[in-house]
Structure 1
Amino acid sequence: MGKVSTMMINVLVVLCLFGEAFSKTKKHHEEISTEFDFFYFVQQWPGAYCDAKGRKCCYPNSGKPATDFSIHGLWPNYKDGGYPSNCDTSNPFDPSQIEELEGRLESDWPSLACPSVGHKFWAHEWNKHGTCSLFSTQQQYFQAGLNLKDQTNLLQTLKDAGIEPNDEFYNVEDMKEAIKEKIGYYPWIECNRDSDGNSQLYQVYICVDTNGKDLIECPVLPRGNCASRVQFPKF
């Protein structure tokens, strides 16, 4: 066998090995992209969103949402603080898959961004976060979020502890204790500031098992801190 033939065979062998290694690496990354350790279930207080310094607030087409916490998202996360995103581009958001839930989503999972974005908000949540979950359908993913909102019932939980959305200031630790008394685990509370510089109750993070229904102790907490006392603004 000549030198040229031997060289060609060696090149082909290298290419085959490289192709196999690339295939394994690609498969490995695909498998990792759908693995996660827990969910952050994030609920937002609309009064703080609309009162935040430098932010405008627009109501959805269905009108002003009820005076209640709304869902921001159900987000897969890693224990190291990172998170997967956009895991399956072959399964993009399809509004027809959530038609049965749309009325409930408009009231409990709305966007207050300006200009109003309609389905684009839900599309963002599914494409970025839902495709990384273990839910096989979009309806299952959004239904899980709605179920968790019912299960945690944050506004009533806080009201039962004498913590009302009345523009008064409350201790953050009292808020956390009230929620722990209800759900069994401490939440993480995120704050923002209004135009007067007041620290406000903005979002509540609750940790959920990968099955999307069982509440758990948070393996890792988001960054940031609130003041010791924060305003619970009206809406």
Structure 2
Amino acid sequence: MRIVSREQIVDREHCARSVMLAVAFLVLIVGLSTHAQQKQSVASQEFDFFVFVELSPGADGLLIDGKNCMNCTASGSLNLTIHGLWPTRNGCSHYLQYCNSSYEFNLEEIKSLTTQLEKFWPSLHYANCTSHEHLSGSEYFWCHEWEAHGTCACEVKHIQGEFDFFQTVLELFEHQMNYDQYVLAKHGIVPSTTHPYRVEKFVDAFVAEWNVKPVLKCRRMGDGDRQVLDSIRTCLSKDFTHRQCTDCILDESTCDNGFYYYPA
């Protein structure tokens, strides 16, 4: 039988304790690092308000391929459709995007919403979704809006995933679209290919109803002589009530007096 000296026993115990301390230290470091990354991830998703973007599909039907198409109409019957709901920070580096790459778009999750999405959230020519190149048309657009903006909206308690995001935006839009079109019509603003509008007329309509200014984005047709309304952007608090946009957001307006609001 081999006899182990007291010194060898002490050395082995010391070695074992050292290994245990090293393992414990490593676990602590990994835990702190993970916690820090989680905190950083949560912090990176913090935002101050939403920018809600409605498209004027009449502009897309008329401007597709850069054609000066005076008598064409876009497919569909809605004069406003959804572009997106964008989490936004105060300041001028504001739009939050691609907050969580692990939240990849899953078409199956929103299958029950497809009919509504195709009606209210169609893709006219937008397509940018890097993780799902097998998608096409509107599916590509929805994928982009979820991965770019929806993943940043999960800080809001109503939005805990992909289905919640799309359902919330659809509900918001159905209310907002109906009211926006009512408000515009109430103030004498109706889609027309022949009647130009002043910026102030649109702004005054929103100020009168909600005491907020919209952001009006326009595109130029053909040779650039005619501006057509492309989108209306309004700012919403996290509880989805209207709020004033920051100066940096308002400065993004591109419409000049004499622009057109084309019908779909």
Coarse TM-score class (shorter-chain normalised): 0.7 to 0.9
Question: Residues 98 and 23 of structure 1: is their aligned pair in 2 closer, same or farther, counting only changes over 3 Å?
Answer: closer
Letter in 1 for 2:141: F
Aligned partner of 1:98 in structure 2 is: 110
TM-score by length of 2: 0.72
- Choose the corresponding residue for 1:31, options 33, 42, 54: 42
Q: Report deviation, 1:151.
A: 2.6
| Contact 1:191–1:203 (CA under 8 A) maintained in structure 2 | yes
Q: Does 1:109 pair with 2:121?
A: yes
What's 2:261 paired with?
232
The aligned residue for residue 144 of structure 2 is: 124
Give the whole-Å Cα distance in 2 for the aligned partners of 1:55 and 1:210: 37
Verify the 8 A CA contact 1:36 1:210 in the aligned structure 2: no
1:186 aligns with 2:197: no
CA–CA distance in structure 1, aligned partners of residues 63 and 87 of structure 2? 27
What secondary structure sits across from 1:41 in the alignment?
Answer: strand
Deviation at 1:196, TM superposition (A): 3.8
Identity over aligned pairs, percent: 29
Matches for 1:47-62 after TM superposition, within 5 Å: 47-52=58-63, 54-55=65-66
**Is this contact kept in 1: 2:79–2:263, CA < 8 A?**
no
Structure-1-length-normalised TM-score: 0.80
| Structure 1: gaps of 5 or more residues | 1-11, 57-62
Match of 2:95 in 1: 83
CA distance in 1, matches of 2:206, 2:33: 48
Q: Does 1:175 align with 2:175?
A: no
Match of 1:68 in 2: 79
For the aligned residue pairs, the C-alpha RMSD in angstroms reads 2.9
Q: CA deviation at 1:111?
A: 0.5
> 1:83-134 CA distances to partner (integer Å, 9 max, x unpaired)?
2211122221112221222111111111101786231111111111101103
Maintained 8 Å contact 2:59/2:229: yes
Asked whether the equivalents of residues 56 and 80 of structure 2 are also in contact (C-alpha less than 8 Å), the reply is yes
User: Which residue is equivalent to 2:166?
Assistant: 142
Distance of aligned partners of 1:229 and 1:98 in 2 relative to their CA distance in 1, 3 Å threshold? same
Query: 1:18: how far off?
Result: 7.7
Alpha-carbon distance, 1:183 to partner: 3.5
Larger radius of gyration: 2
Aligned to 1:59: none
Which consecutive segments of 4 or more residues in structure 1 shift more than 3 A?
15-25, 53-56
Q: Name the SS for the 1:42 alignment partner.
A: strand
**Aligned equivalents of 2:263 and 2:97: distance in 1?**
34
Per the TM alignment, residue 25 of structure 1 is displaced from its structure 2 partner at its CA by 4.7
Q: Which amino acid aligns with 2:229?
A: L
Partner of residue 70, structure 2: none
Distance 2:209 2:161 in 1: 30
* Matched residues, number: 220
After superposing the two structures, state which structure 1 stretch, 174-183 or 194-203, moved more: 174-183
Match of 1:165?
191
